[in-house]
Amino acid sequence: MRPTLSGRLARLFGRFAVSGLLLAAAGTTALAPPASAAGGLTQVTGFGSNPGNLSMYAYVPAGLPAGAPLVVALHGCTQTADDYYANSGWTKLADTYGFALVFPQTGSANNALSCFTWFDPADSTRGKGEAASIAQMVTKAESLYGSDADRVYVTGLSAGGGMAADLLAAYPDVFAGGSIASGLPAQCATSQIGASGCQYGSLGLTPAQWGDKVRAQFPGYAGPWPRVAIWQGTSDYTVHPVNATELRDQWTDVHGISQTPSSTASLPAGTTLTSYDDASGRPVVQLYQISGMGHGLAVDPGSGAEQCGSTAAYFLDTVCSSYYTATFWGLDRDGGTGPGDGGEQLPAPTGLTAGPATDTTVSLSWSPVQGAASYRVHRGGAQVGTPTGTAFTDTGLAPATTYTYTVAAVAADGTVGTVSSAVTATTTGSAPTCTTATNYAHVTAGRAHTGGGYTYANGSNENMGLYNVFVTHTLKQTSPGHYVLADSGC
């Protein structure tokens, strides 16, 4: 009966395959075998019992010393390890900052569209299937390359993003941080049929209920919990933007912090960065929303320091998400072992002050550090400038918004020094306005629009549920014509 079931599912979901749908047809009827990894990738065998039937590929920069970080990168549906190696930009960052990369690869024997099986507990939970195989790869990489077990991170796109979230929940003792691009909350679905409900709409869970899904994966674990970056295009109709909001709810609850942003920032390509800080002021959850981007991983081809990646199917030319993720994890400053990171660290700059501010800019200044060739300025955990002097003006900011800044000195050999104490600044202008109304009223007033019987916020395209007078939401206007859900507070 399996071929008949597979055929029915293929007919049911086949029309979505070209758009990269995560919910791939089950069964062993396969597409063409995935291309073998090549070019700088090395296949690693004998990494464990491999209950998930995966392949392991690795990229290690020449001369990488022991004690460097490790990043695990998970491809999306219809992709291979080599696709992610060639296009995601992580290889450039590994060379620049000094860390090893592992690229797990699944195939059509596991899933007809070569998707990681994020929706099946037999593959997505601790000690089971694909999740267990990836954990075994981490152990193997630590043994082969001497990777620092305290600085292991996981990132993934689409189905790989869903699996990355599951891994962060199942193995918080293994991964110090994660990045989920166009993906799903951890344990959002526990069956293939249930996966479509996650992709296309909200499950209507509270932050605590989402957090419980994480805590249930490793009962008794008391932390620390991984730092999580969430990347989402506002025009993604394969994995709807509500998933990013629910990921935010899930991981802020796990960290025991509010869903009210600590700061917001504007990045290139219409990207809005919203940070959520812990009690010490350290960003532990960051949400990156890219205006108008569809389903894929954000890349920015070019030779600039903040550019990376290549355009291809599901690698979309907007902003280098891998770069901003790496800086959020601190790979550029507190773990780098790449060229120029072996010298003596300079002390932290003192006297960092913020101001004056306008409605779109913040001016910073600090005392010079002897021996500094340049400085790195970070806003909310993301690098925003590399001035050679002791002043910098941050631009393109939102009015009436509070931002957090730190600065580090960089020596002539490229060694990044100790990070300064943080300062905050608030831009001038009017604060974003919030309106609570029914979905019908939001649409009538021009704050939202409809599609397929559902309501979507203008600008962010966040799913607000059914279009009627019985569903009520709060929308916050963050810029002209751009609204975001703000049910948890304006």
Catalytic positions = 158
Q: For residues 237 and 251, what is the distance between their CA atoms, to the nearest angstrom?
A: 23
Residue 412 exposed, middle or buried by CB count within 10 Å (0-12, 13-18, 19+): exposed
Residue 477's CB is within 10 A of a number of other CB atoms, namely 18
Whether residue 483 contacts residue 456, with contact meaning beta carbons closer than 8 Å, is answered with: no
- One-letter amino acid at 406 equals T
The helix/strand/coil state of 253 is helix
String of b and e for 82-119 (b: at least 16 CB within 10 Å)?
A: bbbbbbbbbbbbbbbbbbbbbbbbbbbebbbbbbbbbb
Q: Could you tell me the CA-to-CA distances from 362 to 109, 376, 403, 423 in Å, in that order?
A: 54, 16, 9, 11
Question: Half-sphere exposure of residue 343, counting CA atoms within 13 Å on the CB side?
Answer: 16
Whether residue 20 contacts residue 314, with contact meaning beta carbons closer than 8 Å, is answered with: yes
CA nearest to 329, candidates 185, 175, 212, 454: 175
CA nearest to 476, candidates 425, 440, 430, 444: 430
CA nearest to 38, candidates 73, 81, 95: 81
C-alpha dihedral, 87 to 92 to 94 to 98, nearest 10°: 180
Whether residue 427 contacts residue 399, with contact meaning beta carbons closer than 8 Å, is answered with: yes
Q: For residues 168 and 229, what is the distance between their CA atoms, to the nearest angstrom?
A: 12
Do you find a cis peptide bond into 104, omega within 30 degrees of 0? no
- One-letter amino acid at 99 equals F
Query: Which stretches within 115-184 are classed as H helix?
Result: 121-124, 129-145, 159-170
Query: Which stretches within 240-381 are classed as H helix?
Result: 242-255, 321-329
HEC profile for 211-223? HHHHHCCCCCCCC
